[in-house]
Structure 1
């Protein structure tokens, strides 16, 4: 009995310490106990947790208005109840006061008769197998203990005792001890249940139930289940309204992201704003496109962030969600929150995770073999009536025609090795938390040679709060270093075009074989390399001070620095010996981007009456970004050993030299009012200033309004629709701007000439002064409904958005006499983006041993140019069509192969007998997505967890024809086997024209027709839809007995797979890259790993 009293007393003394100094003002006039709890939540940010029906009996409590500590207030209102409380982190858990069940007597004999106590241990987990920290484990009728961060508990019990396991949101479970020493329990969710997921809205956090804007969240677990290095790749198909695709499968390759479509006519002005822990991060590649563009097209800066450090990614989409970021968030906002330490009662926790795997291309194309190749080439010469010679047919007369090489296997058929190891140390207590983590990632390529991508990082996070929560401080610092060693160009072009009879790679002496200069040896190109080293620093500090009850003064300070060093080498040994000027060259790149930001803010929270909550925020932003870079082209090397030294080059040319300073400041404010947790309104306003505009145009005002009505809380709704467990209507409207025009565009600008006069270089104007253009404007409107059925085991959300982007910034053509081709100006063009987004989450099976959940999202977007004044005759006449998407392609209309001539034919619109653009453009093809989305299934059986994700895209794209630059039969270029179904004689009906070895020109009618078909007609556009088994993750949690024997807190082994299967009719390599790009497709990657926590 003494032991029970001590445990009980210690628990209460420990938990009340964090709230005995936090003050609140509460007044109750015959009100419920729950009303008191809500009032405290509004003023402090604390959350109350209690079991269903636990506080229902207490509906008439009166408490005079006064300012008291939280603990004093709770002591008063709970004094005459059967309830007590315990603080756990930021929550206050309400539970029943313990009542003695064992007879307490002073009789020594009776005391001696009490059976002996023994220790029972165990682990409490949720339906997903994750530990349930701070769950209540009570000896029925006596004291209680709580589980630690890993769900473990220890209690002293009697054999006949009953343990009661409870936690808010889970079913309460009772189990008899029966002399057991280990009792593990898998708790089930209490259904009905609405998961109150808290999301990061940028300058504040909000519960999903109370959102007025559209914010999607992807958690660390969803990201870590995927063997990828770029966090954006982990989001593919998982977020409605966000279309992401890879440009290349090379490690560190480029990634594209579009949030609710294309808003601007300028391609580079559609990137979202990236925010990492409150600090802006570059949205476009920092490396030089002169050097890296061939092997890493459209490199994405987030590839330089360690994916293992990410706690969550939130994507802000509509006006209400993005307005607080003003013009920077016109194209959406991607918020990356990194991991922080968690409360661990002062103890330290060490986590180690190691995984290793392999990657290969998912499929190859069916190309001609040696026999088919020889047949094609000989037939081409016969069709053209041309005699074969050693010069025009070396493959037939000089090469070994018995050879066969599968160049796809040679150049793309290797196995990429992937290794990923990460470790972290974390700990802290109720007031101070810390985390230090490190990571190393390496991925080689499928190309022959020692090529690889490497990434290493270190991350530190520190958080502290005073006991009365009046002062908070956090510091985050991270460094990520990435290194790339790749071939200069992607060898996929050589892999699909080299003749199967091409000569062997090496001669008898082991040197590159050039076969007397008759072919381009692909291993020569592999000796031309691209290397880069990128260092990324992110530092952020947030300071918060409570000035008065409900009034807080905050300051967000941040700094980022990205530095890129690049080298492209073209050694002499990579060149054909017959080349006329056989010298080496190198390109050196040095680029830096650093940003600092300071955002002082005032935040106020208060209650209005008994049911209203008012939250206000006002702040200002000061931001500066400095970008500078230089690219040198060193030429004329006679020794390959000197290629890394620019001073050893006989000739050096400055290919690029740039410096830019961007300054941005703003004043912003937000007012949020919540009445009865049913009616919510959110107002946001912002005045932005940008250095990218001229005098008088630098400032603009933007704002938004968002509203929400949780109609399921209305009594009449509960009566009329009893099957509806949750329902919310929300809507938003607002205006944001965009200043993504580049720096100094309004100023007179000059550039140095490359030529000299009398030994001096001059300058030439490259841009005219134009201070009159101003901000683009983006009007966003959204309406949405969210519904829950069957106790929220079925959750459905549907939203419709309508965005209008106007005042477009484009290049306006100028007369030749001005000396300039164009000048930037605002145009009355209007781009419209509309769409429907649907999310469906279901709990299909739900019990202690087996759980099955499904998450489905789908988006149907529409992009349209609805106005463009004077488009006819402008520079964009052949590019855009009013009423059509910006991705529209104007093409000749393909009409088949002429059965008499065997030549491709097209509709001659103007009837002049020739195909010419734009007069004969008739076909309009939408090269875009009609709809896309994903389906996730999470299945848990005991200690096993299986996650399966399918991505689907319905789209039209450029087909495989665009990858084959030369006509079938010509220029030693291999072809897909489809060309065998070609026209051979008059009367043949087929879709493939006759073979020809000619190029263009008057005699090359067939070659000209092929080029028209490949590049200018709708023949090259086809369906590129696909369904892909994007990710599979299977894990097994180690048994408790094993963990105990190894002195581990947690452990698991797992297998993960990415891009495992693709179902498509697309004839090229991969429909994800359906734009004719000659880039390596995304790899199929399979990894296995182990995770241990000490």
Structure 2
């Protein structure tokens, strides 16, 4: 009922725009051409008649046209204009007109009715009927244009593909429809025609979106770019838009931050250019307006990280027409200081292509479950050193006895007084002194129960996630206006109990033409995201995976569902152990992280056309985010024994006002010129406020008024402006050679006045080799391109002088604290210089397409925080430093191996890329003068470090001490016999290196996406494989799982229990023991023979978490990223003529994973302070596998 009401409301709001359109082909136009190229004349007619001409440049005459016509129907003008040039035109649906070279009339094929035209035919008029079908499906095609050649008379086929028209025997009928090869048939004596149209796979000149939203023919562009259609985005059925790009764009790396619902993703294009790990993501632009893509972290004050999502992920995939990725500096130079890391252009659906009114309804239902969970051992249960332990506050790990059903006193065992073993009152020391003996006496004596394995205890905790999405869109257009109004409601229940995400999205995109010169347009997107609970992340007792890795394998998860102790509801949680972690059900139902986010993204623009070659565009756009978060922590939480409550308010706003004056005019018959000048004014504001109740006065009452101690406050406010002027021009020579020049100057308020102005130029060229030279007939198109450009990246505000921020008042007195960095009043923007070259080819009737790019980028003046001595009173100093080199290769291949006459087609496409980034230079310490050769970028268990001469993304940590071939090393082996082997101490434990060593690099060796599409009649199958080769990952899951005795690997050394005298028990490390003299000098080595008990061995492997080398893994993987099976029901099978199209699809995402990394998805990442850190697993939540169906209806 609500859907119907909404639909009627949308129709009512838009009905005044959606009157039946006049046939644009009959619209009155004018032409005042004085020696102008045909291409420029067609462009003028497109604007006047709201049509779009489709043609290849090869058929457009380069001679100049002089023609004057006033108030003439477009059809008459095209006859006058094109016939002398031997150009035919075919009118198609939605305002498209295809131009082709005139060709000889085609005789009637064998598929036509009997009767051939004779020499002496009558010219008497007669009715002729016919049926037009798809050659591959034999189904009727509605809407085919049937035109009598040389006249304006014609018909359009009905819903079944049938027509009837009055002709004479000498007439020639033209049959045309978008996406099909046209046919022309002499009528002759025939009275009925049976026409079969074949799909048209010829490549028209592709129109692409470039910087600042300017549309151009792809053949003219001198740099690499790649587009993904909106259909390929929405069919992924992924809540986060960024994730849908994985595997689809060459050179793009997407790292997901698993959070089970609507989490953030990190996207980089062509590697890492900045030493600031959080400043390597591209700029996102929606309909010409940049948007915020901030990931505002939420941690501190004893809280763990929570991923609330980032800006780009909130864009609704159902409203996207296309996404274009601008990769290199030549493509992004017009974005100046914001274009260093590439640009993602998002174009919204507008309704311009709708003919009359159209309604689309779609509904999606998907189920989700964990893609991969750790593999736990299920032999040994809760305890320590082979002995069962449950002493209220100890014994949580799985180094206990074998689980054989023996009777033991457990946390969920009943007691003599009707309680459970874990009902022990409040034992947390921070609560206060409580008489434990009295609590235990009240509980009663625990009655032993069977000690058994619960192999599915972790799996049992997770639930089947459910996501539903309802989408309705009403759109339409006529010669004056267009509109699209859409609403989407998505509701996601996470795989973790009591986690959810609801999202409402309303989109309006409309435009109106005033007279023949002025166009107005409005785009507005409002979304509201609501979540009662988003899960906590990273290592710590608020993360569920922390509990699962530490809990005893004998724990029955079902026993924890009643998470309050009997008689202690709201005050004391019930748990399997009270030493370090919270009951997982207590965590998800009581310790919640709520969110209420409102976002308005939109722009309004006006375009005034002074003449056929000159226009001015004015535009204002904004991205406004208002977000409220709350964190509730219940009484008896491990970190908050007295509970706590926290509120955060976040305001992000970015406003852009810009103009663009554009001219497009031919200089001569051979040279074309387009030129534009423009400017942009950016204003950006961020306001954060954070208020916390450290302890609750009343349990379960979450309010800032319910504070047992003084409130804690923090706030932040920043503003930033960038003013810009830019210009670009393109010269074309005979549609064969193109030269493009661009320049942009930025003035940034975040930089000092003497350094705030910077210029970013670019030059690119392209040549259509296939038109310049006579190549093999198998080569349909060939183009080479090259360019050089400069882009940059400025900094955040308030890096130039000391800054003070408000803190919690002291005894009612306001306090301010200086930020802990040394400012730099001489800062310069980061700069990148890039050289790029490439080629494109289409072969074998466009069935094979190849696009290859090579690039080299050098980035300097990196803005980073360099560590300083603690004696300075600061932690870091803001400096310009470093040179980072990036070079790489991208290859895109599209191939149609099979294309049969029965309609079966197999299309395959491969995106391949590799990137190598190297640190060429760092900086000199401004105080000591020392040349710095290494810089720590991030520390989370391992160090992400940049070292001169090495790659960006290197991972450093403590490793194993090994026998060396270096005479200066204390562990030098002159014989060379033991070089490279691990050295063990006298107890059989491996020794650690004294310093950090390089353990690997998180960047992959190469990436590939391999997509296959199989289609036959109305049935299609799409499969996308996402492939990563190389790169390293540190697994904290493995480190902790070994220590806790919970992972499958910990069965090594306790095959037969814990008695070292039994076979299979204990572990002897592979390596050597050093022999020493009386003074401790190493004199030689012998093989290690010392056996360690299993528990000691698995802890010694990492030297109590110091040695990280054994937990490094090859992060290569192959994922079945997407799969979709669709069937579109033919119109004759639909129950109502009101239905134009019905499509049913089965969809799946992240269906399978092939990887050698144990227990976790190697695509995982960690989070620190709102920054996603690749190459580090911090007990990540599992990646989600989803599968379901979509039903789409077009009315």
TM-score for both structures, normalised by structure 1: 0.84
Partner of 2:326: 316
Distance, in Å, in 2 between the alignment partners of 1:278 and 1:647 is: 45
Distance, in Å, in 2 between the alignment partners of 1:36 and 1:795 is: 29
Alpha-carbon offset, residue 85 of structure 1: 5.4
Alpha-carbon offset, residue 928 of structure 1: 1.7
Write the deviation string for residues 793-821 of structure 1: whole angstroms up to 9, x where unpaired.
11111111111111111223445554323
Partner of 2:1111: 1020
Partner of 1:1058: 1149
Instruction: Flag the 1:795–1:948 CA change in 2: closer, same or farther, 3 A.
Output: same
Alpha-carbon offset, residue 656 of structure 1: 2.8
Distance, in Å, in 2 between the alignment partners of 1:81 and 1:746 is: 65
Instruction: Flag the 1:407–1:294 CA change in 2: closer, same or farther, 3 A.
Output: farther
SS state of the match for residue 323, structure 1?
helix
Distance, in Å, in 1 between the alignment partners of 2:583 and 2:600 is: 41
Partner of 1:8: none
Distance, in Å, in 1 between the alignment partners of 2:394 and 2:303 is: 33
Partner of 2:38: 36
Partner of 2:1139: 1048
Of the candidates 507, 524, 530, which is equivalent to residue 477 of structure 1? 524
Alpha-carbon offset, residue 167 of structure 1: 4.8
**Alignment partner of 1:25 is 2:25:** no
Partner of 2:380: 372
Partner of 1:277: 287
Partner of 1:243: 253
Distance, in Å, in 1 between the alignment partners of 2:1008 and 2:841 is: 20
Of the candidates 718, 721, 729, which is equivalent to residue 660 of structure 1? 718
Alpha-carbon offset, residue 184 of structure 1: 8.6
Instruction: Flag the 1:115–1:772 CA change in 2: closer, same or farther, 3 A.
Output: closer
**Alignment partner of 1:974 is 2:1046:** yes
Distance, in Å, in 1 between the alignment partners of 2:1101 and 2:1000 is: 19
Alpha-carbon offset, residue 595 of structure 1: 1.6
Alpha-carbon offset, residue 233 of structure 1: 0.9
Partner of 2:344: 334
**Matched-pair contact (CA < 8 Å) for 2:89–2:97:** yes
SS state of the match for residue 219, structure 2?
helix
Instruction: Flag the 1:421–1:43 CA change in 2: closer, same or farther, 3 A.
Output: closer
Instruction: Flag the 1:179–1:1039 CA change in 2: closer, same or farther, 3 A.
Output: farther
Instruction: Flag the 1:549–1:922 CA change in 2: closer, same or farther, 3 A.
Output: closer
Instruction: Flag the 1:964–1:599 CA change in 2: closer, same or farther, 3 A.
Output: same
Partner of 1:568: 631
Partner of 1:265: 275
**Matched-pair contact (CA < 8 Å) for 2:522–2:604:** yes
Instruction: Flag the 1:695–1:516 CA change in 2: closer, same or farther, 3 A.
Output: closer
SS state of the match for residue 326, structure 1?
helix
Distance, in Å, in 2 between the alignment partners of 1:690 and 1:130 is: 60
Partner of 2:421: none
Partner of 1:493: 546
Distance, in Å, in 1 between the alignment partners of 2:768 and 2:960 is: 55
Partner of 2:1006: 931
Of the candidates 772, 784, 801, which is equivalent to residue 747 of structure 1? 801
| Range moving further from structure 2, 215-224 or 492-501 | 492-501
SS state of the match for residue 571, structure 1?
strand
Of the candidates 944, 963, 974, which is equivalent to residue 1037 of structure 2? 963
Partner of 2:434: none
Write the deviation string for residues 276-308 of structure 1: whole angstroms up to 9, x where unpaired.
112221121246445998464483212222121
Distance, in Å, in 1 between the alignment partners of 2:62 and 2:611 is: 31
Distance, in Å, in 1 between the alignment partners of 2:736 and 2:491 is: 50
Partner of 1:597: 656
Alpha-carbon offset, residue 943 of structure 1: 0.9
Alpha-carbon offset, residue 591 of structure 1: 0.3
Partner of 2:505: 457
Give the gaps of 5 or more residues in structure 2.
1-19, 109-121, 402-407, 411-448, 537-541, 925-930, 938-942, 964-979, 1055-1063, 1072-1087, 1165-1174
Partner of 2:976: none
Distance, in Å, in 2 between the alignment partners of 1:336 and 1:130 is: 36
**Alignment partner of 1:587 is 2:613:** no
TM-score for both structures, normalised by structure 2: 0.78
**Alignment partner of 1:717 is 2:774:** yes
Alpha-carbon offset, residue 429 of structure 1: 0.9
Of the candidates 1122, 1141, 1145, which is equivalent to residue 1031 of structure 1? 1122
Partner of 2:439: none
**Matched-pair contact (CA < 8 Å) for 2:922–2:933:** no
Partner of 1:843: 896
Instruction: Flag the 1:664–1:453 CA change in 2: closer, same or farther, 3 A.
Output: same
Give the gaps of 5 or more residues in structure 1.
1-10, 29-34, 102-109, 382-386, 898-904, 999-1003
Partner of 2:425: none
**Alignment partner of 1:351 is 2:414:** no
Write the deviation string for residues 756-776 of structure 1: whole angstroms up to 9, x where unpaired.
379664644644453111111
* Residues 412-811 of structure 1 mapped to structure 2, 5 A cutoff: 412-447=461-496, 449-466=497-514, 468=516, 470-486=517-533, 487-488=535-536, 489-502=542-555, 504-506=559-561, 513-514=574-575, 517=578, 520-526=582-588, 527-572=590-635, 575=637, 582-643=641-702, 645-714=703-772, 716-718=773-775, 721-739=776-794, 741-752=795-806, 754=808, 756=810, 761=815, 763-764=817-818, 766-811=820-865
Distance, in Å, in 2 between the alignment partners of 1:78 and 1:669 is: 35
Alpha-carbon offset, residue 858 of structure 1: 0.6
Partner of 1:4: none
Alpha-carbon offset, residue 957 of structure 1: 2.7
**Matched-pair contact (CA < 8 Å) for 2:1050–2:1094:** no
Alpha-carbon offset, residue 126 of structure 1: 9.7
**Matched-pair contact (CA < 8 Å) for 2:1101–2:1107:** no
Partner of 2:1018: 943
Alpha-carbon offset, residue 662 of structure 1: 0.9
Distance, in Å, in 1 between the alignment partners of 2:63 and 2:792 is: 51
Alpha-carbon offset, residue 667 of structure 1: 0.4
**Matched-pair contact (CA < 8 Å) for 2:38–2:65:** no
Q: CA RMSD in A?
A: 4.3
Alpha-carbon offset, residue 115 of structure 1: 6.2
**Matched-pair contact (CA < 8 Å) for 1:910–1:920:** no
Distance, in Å, in 2 between the alignment partners of 1:322 and 1:168 is: 33
**Matched-pair contact (CA < 8 Å) for 1:12–1:86:** no
Instruction: Flag the 1:894–1:315 CA change in 2: closer, same or farther, 3 A.
Output: same
Alpha-carbon offset, residue 81 of structure 1: 7.7
Instruction: Flag the 1:977–1:818 CA change in 2: closer, same or farther, 3 A.
Output: closer
**Matched-pair contact (CA < 8 Å) for 1:214–1:321:** yes
Alpha-carbon offset, residue 1030 of structure 1: 0.9
**Matched-pair contact (CA < 8 Å) for 1:797–1:839:** yes
Distance, in Å, in 2 between the alignment partners of 1:419 and 1:285 is: 25
Instruction: Flag the 1:236–1:663 CA change in 2: closer, same or farther, 3 A.
Output: same
Instruction: Flag the 1:13–1:243 CA change in 2: closer, same or farther, 3 A.
Output: closer
Write the deviation string for residues 610-668 of structure 1: whole angstroms up to 9, x where unpaired.
1222111101111101110111111321434421x212223353453011111111000
Instruction: Flag the 1:820–1:451 CA change in 2: closer, same or farther, 3 A.
Output: closer
Of the candidates 171, 183, 200, which is equivalent to residue 189 of structure 1? 200
**Matched-pair contact (CA < 8 Å) for 2:292–2:623:** no
SS state of the match for residue 929, structure 1?
coil
Alpha-carbon offset, residue 377 of structure 1: 4.4
Partner of 2:947: 881
Alpha-carbon offset, residue 513 of structure 1: 3.1
Partner of 2:907: 853
**Matched-pair contact (CA < 8 Å) for 2:1033–2:1113:** yes
Instruction: Flag the 1:954–1:144 CA change in 2: closer, same or farther, 3 A.
Output: farther
**Matched-pair contact (CA < 8 Å) for 1:909–1:921:** no
| Range moving further from structure 2, 797-806 or 1041-1050 | 1041-1050
**Matched-pair contact (CA < 8 Å) for 1:26–1:40:** no
